[in-house]
Amino acid sequence: MENEIRGLHASLYLNHPRWYRKRVSTYWWLQRWEYLRFVLREISSVFVAIFVVEMLSKSTPSHAAPRPTPPL
């Protein structure tokens, strides 16, 4: 009985038609201005993240800041 079920599943899998998928160009985003704008917006987040990491790495932590001089 178990072998019949396995055979049934295998035949359904092997005889299943492939889904049709239209080929899409690698440069699909250059076809319309809206697509290009979307890709540029998404890429800009990478530059913002790099800027934030760079600014955080250049800032000094508050515990390492020099102590204020006492008033005279």
Domain boundaries, the chain: 24-58
* Residue with more model confidence, 2 or 47: 47
What does the pLDDT read at residue 30? Answer: 92
What does the pLDDT read at residue 9? Answer: 60
Nearest 5°: CA angle at 14, between 8 and 17? 120
Q: What's the pLDDT tens digit per position in 25-66?
A: 999 989 999 999 999 999 999 999 999 999 888 876 666 666
Residue 20 confidence (pLDDT) above 60: yes
d(CA 19, CA 17): 6
Q: What secondary structure letter does DSSP report for 65?
A: S
What does the pLDDT read at residue 4? Answer: 55
Q: Long-range contacts of range 15-22, CB-CB < 8 Å, 24 or more positions apart?
A: none
- Per the CB < 8 A criterion, the answer to whether 39 and 29 are in contact is yes
